[in-house]
């Protein structure tokens, strides 16, 4: 799913895979810490390693929570909190994250 939005005064494309049942939120998605000396060296677990995400992870953005139906999709929570969404300018190619495998924060360190 893609939607044209205004983000910090600029027109951008917000895109996602529409798997809200698998969306935990970027601060809540289970992850593995890879280096105890570097809090930023972690990987998010893949969808198949997790169950269904909470319907309400307890996070909100501008009054919007995680979508519970199609009419709520692509709201403020989706942009600021959902780990599955991506934005790009109008000219660039949009890459939607693939949570069928683990996603490493430091890809170059963990290949």
pTM of the shown model: 0.81
pLDDT tens for 20-56 read 999 999 989 999 999 999 999 999 999 999 999 999 9
Residue 91 has pLDDT above 80, yes or no: no
Side-chain half-sphere of 104: how many Cα atoms within 13 Å? 9
Rounded mean pLDDT of 59-73?
91
What is the b/e burial string over 31-40, where b = at least 16 CB atoms within 10 angstroms of the residue's CB? beeeeeeeee
- pLDDT of 110: 59
What is the C-alpha separation between 17 and 36, in angstroms, rounded? 32
How distant, in Å, are the alpha carbons of 32, 61, 76, 109 from that of 50?
12, 24, 25, 24
Rounded mean pLDDT of 4-26?
90
């Amino acid at each position: 799913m893609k939607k044209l939005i205004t983000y910090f005064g600029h027109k951008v494309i917000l895109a996602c895979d529409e798997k809200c049942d698998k969306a935990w939120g970027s601060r809540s998605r289970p992850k593995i810490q890879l280096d105890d000396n570097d809090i930023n060296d972690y990987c998010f677990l893949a969808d198949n390693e997790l169950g269904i995400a909470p319907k309400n992870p307890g996070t909100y953005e501008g009054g919007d929570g995680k979508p519970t139906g199609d009419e709520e999709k692509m709201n403020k929570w989706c942009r600021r909190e959902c780990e599955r969404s991506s934005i790009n300018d109008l000219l660039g190619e949009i890459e939607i994250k693939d949570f069928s495998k683990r996603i490493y924060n430091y890809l170059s360190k963990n290949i």
